[in-house]
Amino acid sequence: MKLVIDENIVQAREAFKDFGETTFLNGREITNDVLLDADVLIVRSITKVNEGLLKNTKVKFVGTATIGTDHIDQDYLQKNNIAFSSAAGCNSYSVTEYVFSAITHFANKYNFNISDKSIGVVGYGNIGTKIVKIAKTLGMTVVINDPPLERKSKENIFSSLEEALGCDIVTFHVPLNKDGIDKTVRLLNEKNINLIKDNAILINSSRGPVVCNKILKERLEKKNNIHAVLDVWETEPNFDSELFELLEIGTPHIAGYSFEGKLNGTKIIYDALSDFLKTEKTWKPLLERVKNNRINILDNETEAEFFQKLFNKSYNIMDDDLSMRKSIGMSDAEKSKHFDSLRKNYRKRRELNNFKVVLDSDNEKLKTLLNVLRIEVN
């Protein structure tokens, strides 16, 4: 059996070595010629899996170690009896922490209490539910928008997109649907961009085309009154440099790039391939303990100061913004190469559940929040 695997999938060499002959390539270098004698294809989001890639190959199993599936032509796979698995939910905590790291940055920069803000969560899946849980624990006003889920649910918890866009903070967590009643391509567009109020925080860590980059750039050029955060881009890796320079925070599609998130993705696809081949699951991920993982919290600290201590230890979003800003002045080719390089060589970022907080008082409200954040209290 021959497997072709994206070289950037964490611990893939250890996970898949016993299945057969393995070939590891950059995701953009996986072509039809490479796959002609392959049986299994395992990718990340940069490889477009469709008829052009798979025609006349022997591939019978496709896995993507990502939560998104818009790069996969699932209709083609189904019609050609090719098994498929994605890693849904694998990096949901990572993206959630990315969002709150961004909010923490703004809370400290502009001196506001996070709990005083309203947050519009567009998409109530694996990520959106976690963001809502933390936001409610903080005491934020929460507005949830998810039309397909609303149609299925009996819960009266959903609001319109317009209501969500009117919040102090708006964050997108939807799949990329290119058509139909739940189309999400350019969900934020020329018709509703002005529903985003002055000084609101806008975060897109879902898919690039969910926010119309051209319209957002025009709004920022005219008023420059949105605190915008983009992790995903319409034309990545060749992102819009002019838009990037107008943002307060821009990152290279790494919101879900915690080490745990990546490793979860590998394990989910490993399990799926094992099930497909009916083989025993013998591989276990290797997860090292985080050293120097204690964080001291004082009772008189503000919410923003508290969160800043957490994210200074675990994940400071501004480190990724700074790395991406090194692309300013580069040619399109250099810029795209820099974008891919930042993703390929991304540091080992660990999630909050690896850290322990030492409290100087018996603060039950803070303990409840730390529990929701999956942080042990000492």
Which residue in the list 44, 219, 253, 349 is annotated as catalytic?
Answer: 253
Nearest alpha carbon to residue 43 among 18, 76, 79, 73: 73
**Active-site residue 338, yes or no?**
no
The one catalytic residue in 71, 105, 173, 207 is: 207
Q: Which of 71, 97, 219, 236 is catalytic?
A: 236
- Cβ-in-10-Å burial (0-12, 13-18, 19+) of 367 comes to middle
Active site includes 236? yes
Query: 32 with 11: CB under 8 angstroms?
Result: no
Q: CA-CA distance, 341 to 301, in Å (whole number)?
A: 38
Q: Which of 66, 119, 127, 71 is nearest to 94 (CA)?
A: 127
Q: Write 362-370 long-range contacts (CB < 8 A, 24+).
A: 363/299, 366/297, 366/299, 366/306, 368/137, 369/134, 369/137, 369/138
Give me the DSSP letters along 48-76: -BSHHHHTT----EEEESSS--TTB-HHH
- The residues carrying an active-site annotation are 207, 236, 253
